[in-house]
Structure 1
Amino acid sequence: MQKLLARLLDALWPTRPVGRRETVARLVPALGNMGKLTIASVLAHLLTRALVDGPMDLTSSLTALLVMQASAARTFKKGALRVVAVTSGVGLALGTTYLFGMHWWSLGMVIFSALFLARVLRLGDSALEMPISAMLILGQGTDVAAETRVVATLIGTLVGVVFPLVFPPAVPLRSAASSVRRVAADQKALLERAAEAMENQTISRPMVSSWIDEARGLTTRISSAHSQVSRLTDVRKFNSRAVGVADISPILVSGLNSLESCLLSLRAIFLEMERHAPPPTHPSAGPHAGQQPFDADIQHVVAMMLRRLGDCLDAFGTMVEAEANGNEEAAQKAFVVNYRQLRDARAAIAELMAAADTFDEEWQLTASVLSSLDQVLAQLDIDARVRVRERWKASQLGRRLPQGQIGPRTTTVDRFRHSRMRARQLRRPQAPQPVVDFMDDDETTQQLPRLDAETLARLEDQKASRRRRR
C-alpha cells in the first residue's frame, strides 16, 4: 500500500520534497512570501484609512497585493514589467470609471485599451496583468470618489514597491547550488541503470533507445537548473541581503556547462551502441540479426566504465555544490579518487582493444565509446576546474559564502583602493625589456629579458666569432 501511494505521489507531484530538510527548505520561503503579501495588503489599507477621510474601498489593498506579488515573487526585470502593467491597468480603470462609469461597453473598451497599451509598452508575458488589474478595480464599484481611489491606488503602489525593498526576499544560494548537484545525481542514476542492465543481460536496441530517451529528458533538468541560477542573479539585484555575499552564479554556470557537455558525450555513447545493437529478432531475420556489439569481457568492462562515470559525475556535482558553499576540500578529494578510477576503467578498455586481432565493428564501437569518454575526461579535468575556481575566488575576495568566506574580509573602501592601485599600475609605463637573439638566423629565437651590458657584449662576440669560423 505504501509503495502504491508513493508511486501515486510521484505521478501527481514529481517534484515533491523528499525528507524533512527539503520540506522545511521549500515550505518556509512559501510561508514567508504569503505572510509578506498579507502584511503589505493590510498595511496599505491602514495607511489609506489614516490618510483619507470618507468612504473607501479595498483599492489600496488590491493594488498592493498585485504589485507586491509582481516585485517579490518574480525576477527583477519581470517584476518591474508587472508593476508597470498593474499600475497602468489600475489607472486606465480609474479614468474610465471617472469619465463613463461602469457599463458593458466601458468594460469592453477598458479590456481592449489595456491589451493595446500592453502591446505598445512591450510588456511581453505580463501583458495580461493590465486588463486583469483593470477589471478587478472596475469590480470594486463606483460609490467611492475618484480622487479617493487615485490616492488609494498610489498608496497601494507605494507599499507594494517599498515593502520588498525594506524586507527583501532571501537569496536562494543553497537551492541554486543543490540544483546543480541534482543534475549530476540524475545522470548518475541513468548510468547506474544502464550499467546494471549491461551486467545482467545482452544489449538490445530497444534497451539502448530507452537510455537515449532518458538522456534527452535530462536536458529539461539542466534547463531548470539554469533557470534557478538565472533567478539567483536577478534576486541579487537591489537586494540588501546580497550585500557582502559572494555571487556564486559564475561557478554554478561553469559547472552546469560541464555537466551539459558530459550529457552530450553520454548521448553519443548510447547512440553508437544503438547503431550497433541488434534489432528485435523476428523469424524472418537473417543469420547476423542477433549479433551483439560487445563480447562478454568488453561488455563487462564497459558496464564498469559507465558505473564509474556515474560516480565521477555525481562527485563533480557534489564538488560544485561544495564550491558554492565554501567547503570544497573534502569534495575535491572524493572527486579526484573517482576521476582516477574512471581513467583506470578507460585504460582497461584500451588494453582489451589492443589485444584484439582484427579491426571489426566491435573495435570501431569501442573506439567511439573511448572517444566520447575522452571528451568527458577533458570536461572534468581537475586542473582546469581549479583554475576556474581560483579566477572566481579572485573576483569575490572578502565576500561571504554559506559555510565560509573567500579570503580576508574587506570593505567597500578597501576594494575601491585596491582597484585604484591596480588601475594606477596598469597606466604606469613599463620599461621595455631587452630581447637578445643569441642563436643563428636559422635556429629558434629565444628571449632573455633584463640582461646587463657585459652579458650582451659577450653574446655578441660569441655570435661574431661563430660567423668568422664559417
Structure 2
Amino acid sequence: MSGVSAPVLELVRRTTEPAAVQTLRSTAAAVIAFSVAQWTLPQPAPLTAPLTALLVVQVTLYATLTTGIRRVNSVIVGVLIAIGFSALVGLNWWSLGLTIFTALLVGRVVRVNEFVPEVAISAMLVLGVSQIADTAWDRILETLIGAGVGLLFNLLFAPPVWVETAGASIEGLATRMGTMLRAMGQEISGHIPVKEAAARLHEARRLDHDIVEVDASLRQAEESLMLNPRVRQGLLNRVVLRTGLDTLEICAVVLRVLTRTLTDLAKQRTDEPMFPDDVGEGLAELFDRMAEAIEAFARLITSPLASGGEQAEDRLAEALAQGRQTRDRIADLLLEDVQEHPRQWQLHGALLAEVDRVLDELDIDKRTERLGEELDRRSAELHERHPALRRLQRRLRGTGGTRRRPAEES
C-alpha cells in the first residue's frame, strides 16, 4: 500500500462510520432546508429552517418520528410567544425576562417534555431578530419547512445503524472483565495483601460505570433498528443484544461479589498464602476459563447471525466445558483443605457458588431459553398495542401468505 493511498483509505473508512455519516446527513438536511426556505419565503436569511432541520434529523429514524413532533411544537410555541411580545412591547431586559419565564411555563403546559428550553430559545431568537409580527409568522413557516425537510430526509435516506458501535462497546466490557479475571488468577497464588485485594474490589465496582455507558450505546443501537427500512429481523437483533448485555451485567455483579469474598479471605489470612499451591494454580486456570467464556459470549451476541455465530458458540461451549471441569477439580481440593483446616469454610463455599453463577449465566441453553421467552414477550406486547396489525396478519395468512416470524414483524 502506497503512502498516498493509506490516508485516503483511512478517510474513506472514517466517513463510513455512523458518527461521520450522521454528521454528513445533518449538514445536508440543514442546507436543503435553508435552500427551500430561501426559495419559498421572502426572508433574506431563513435560519430557523436549517435550525429546525438539525433538531429534527435525529441519530435514528425512530427518534426522529418520536421526538421530531415535540421539537417542532417547542419551536412553534416559542415563535408564537415571541409574536405576542413583539406586537406589545419592545426588546429590553424586563421583556426578555418575561418572555423567557412565559416560554418555560407554557412549554411545561404543552408537554414538550425535555424540549422545554427550546421553547425559550426559539422565543428569544425571534424576539431578538424581529419586532414585526409578520416576520415572526414567517419564522413559523421556516420551522415547518425545516421540520418537513428533516422528516423527508430521514425517510428517503435512512439513518445509519449503530449495531456495530454497540457491539464494540459490549465486547469492550467483556474484555475488561476478562482482563480483570486473568489478573486475579495471576495474583491468587501465594500471599495477597489486603490492600491489593481491596484494589480489585474497587476495580470491579467501576464496572458499573462501564455498564451504564454500554447501556446508552445499546439504547441508541436499538432505536436505530426500529422502523429502519434497511434492517430485517430488527426485533431479533435488539433482543439478542439486550439479553446479552443483561447477562454480562449479572456476571459483573457476581464478579464484584467474588472480589469481595477474596478480600474477606485476604483479611483473614494476612500472614499466610490465601490458598495451597495446588488450589491457587487451579483457581488461576479457572479464572482464565471464565475470562475466555465471557469474551466468547460477547463475541457470540455481537456476531452477525448469518456468519461467525456458530464459531463463537463453539468457543463458548468449549470454554464453559473446561471451566466446569476445572471448577469440579477445585471443589474437591477445597473440600480436602477444609477438612484439614476448617477456617473460613463458608468463604470457600461462597467462592464456588459465585463461580457457578457466572458459568450458569453464560450457559448456551439458558441463553437460548431466555432469548425465546423475550421474543415471545415482545411479540405479545406488539400485538396488544397494534390489534389492527394482528388482524391484518391473520387475514394474509388465511389467504396463503407466508407466516412471518416475530423477529421479522418489527
Q: TM-score, normalised by structure 2?
A: 0.80
Higher helix share: 2
Q: Hey, what's the Cα distance between the residues in 2 that align with 1:214 and 1:354?
A: 30
Please report how far the alpha carbon of residue 157 of structure 1 lies from its aligned counterpart in structure 2 after TM superposition.
2.8
Task: Indicate the RMSD between aligned Cα atoms, in angstroms.
Answer: 3.5
Please report how far the alpha carbon of residue 374 of structure 1 lies from its aligned counterpart in structure 2 after TM superposition.
1.3
Please report how far the alpha carbon of residue 27 of structure 1 lies from its aligned counterpart in structure 2 after TM superposition.
6.7
Please report how far the alpha carbon of residue 388 of structure 1 lies from its aligned counterpart in structure 2 after TM superposition.
4.1
> Do the aligned partners of 2:59 and 2:159 also contact (CA within 8 Å) in 1?
no
> Do the aligned partners of 1:165 and 1:238 also contact (CA within 8 Å) in 2?
no
SS of the counterpart of 2:192? Answer: coil
**Unaligned stretches of 5+ in structure 1?**
1-19, 280-287, 398-412, 423-470
Pick the structure with greater CA Rg: 1
Q: Hey, what's the Cα distance between the residues in 2 that align with 1:359 and 1:344?
A: 24
Please report how far the alpha carbon of residue 25 of structure 1 lies from its aligned counterpart in structure 2 after TM superposition.
5.9
Q: Hey, what's the Cα distance between the residues in 1 that align with 2:101 and 2:267?
A: 61
Q: Hey, what's the Cα distance between the residues in 2 that align with 1:197 and 1:26?
A: 44
- Equivalent residue, structure 2, for 1:15: none
Residue of structure 1 aligned with 2:80, choices 91, 97, 115: 91
- Equivalent residue, structure 1, for 2:298: 317
Deviates more, 1:308-317 or 1:33-42: 33-42
- Equivalent residue, structure 1, for 2:367: 385
- The reply to whether residue 128 of structure 1 matches residue 109 of structure 2 is no
- Equivalent residue, structure 2, for 1:241: 230
Q: Hey, what's the Cα distance between the residues in 2 that align with 1:74 and 1:51?
A: 28
Shift in CA distance, 384/417, structure 1 to aligned 2, threshold 3 Å:
farther
- Equivalent residue, structure 2, for 1:407: none
> Do the aligned partners of 2:257 and 2:354 also contact (CA within 8 Å) in 1?
yes
- The reply to whether residue 376 of structure 1 matches residue 358 of structure 2 is yes
Please report how far the alpha carbon of residue 184 of structure 1 lies from its aligned counterpart in structure 2 after TM superposition.
1.4
Q: Hey, what's the Cα distance between the residues in 2 that align with 1:417 and 1:242?
A: 22
SS of the counterpart of 1:242? Answer: coil
SS of the counterpart of 2:332? Answer: helix
Give the % identical residues: 28
- Equivalent residue, structure 1, for 2:322: 341
- Equivalent residue, structure 2, for 1:63: 52
Equivalent position amino acid for 2:284 in 1: A
> Do the aligned partners of 1:293 and 1:362 also contact (CA within 8 Å) in 2?
no
SS of the counterpart of 2:188? Answer: helix
> Do the aligned partners of 2:14 and 2:20 also contact (CA within 8 Å) in 1?
no
Q: Hey, what's the Cα distance between the residues in 1 that align with 2:171 and 2:44?
A: 56
> Do the aligned partners of 1:111 and 1:134 also contact (CA within 8 Å) in 2?
yes
- The reply to whether residue 216 of structure 1 matches residue 216 of structure 2 is no
Q: Hey, what's the Cα distance between the residues in 2 that align with 1:244 and 1:378?
A: 28
Q: Hey, what's the Cα distance between the residues in 2 that align with 1:324 and 1:75?
A: 28
- The reply to whether residue 299 of structure 1 matches residue 280 of structure 2 is yes
Q: Hey, what's the Cα distance between the residues in 2 that align with 1:45 and 1:145?
A: 16
Q: Hey, what's the Cα distance between the residues in 2 that align with 1:93 and 1:277?
A: 67
SS of the counterpart of 1:320? Answer: helix
Q: Hey, what's the Cα distance between the residues in 2 that align with 1:320 and 1:236?
A: 16
> Do the aligned partners of 1:211 and 1:270 also contact (CA within 8 Å) in 2?
yes
Q: Hey, what's the Cα distance between the residues in 2 that align with 1:370 and 1:243?
A: 42
Please report how far the alpha carbon of residue 330 of structure 1 lies from its aligned counterpart in structure 2 after TM superposition.
0.8
Please report how far the alpha carbon of residue 291 of structure 1 lies from its aligned counterpart in structure 2 after TM superposition.
3.8
Q: TM-score, normalised by structure 1?
A: 0.70
Residue of structure 1 aligned with 2:70, choices 81, 101, 109: 81
- Equivalent residue, structure 1, for 2:36: 47
Shift in CA distance, 56/268, structure 1 to aligned 2, threshold 3 Å:
closer
Please report how far the alpha carbon of residue 261 of structure 1 lies from its aligned counterpart in structure 2 after TM superposition.
1.6
Q: Hey, what's the Cα distance between the residues in 1 that align with 2:272 and 2:106?
A: 66
Shift in CA distance, 185/384, structure 1 to aligned 2, threshold 3 Å:
same
Shift in CA distance, 245/237, structure 1 to aligned 2, threshold 3 Å:
closer
- Equivalent residue, structure 1, for 2:175: 185
Q: Hey, what's the Cα distance between the residues in 2 that align with 1:419 and 1:225?
A: 43
Please report how far the alpha carbon of residue 169 of structure 1 lies from its aligned counterpart in structure 2 after TM superposition.
1.0
SS of the counterpart of 1:169? Answer: coil
Indicate the structure whose relative CO is greater, using CA pairs within 8 Å and at least 6 residues apart.
2
Please report how far the alpha carbon of residue 48 of structure 1 lies from its aligned counterpart in structure 2 after TM superposition.
2.3
Query: What are the residue-to-residue correspondences of 1:344-359 with 2, within 5 Å?
Result: 344-356=325-337, 357-358=339-340
Equivalent position amino acid for 2:363 in 1: D
Q: Hey, what's the Cα distance between the residues in 1 that align with 2:17 and 2:309?
A: 27
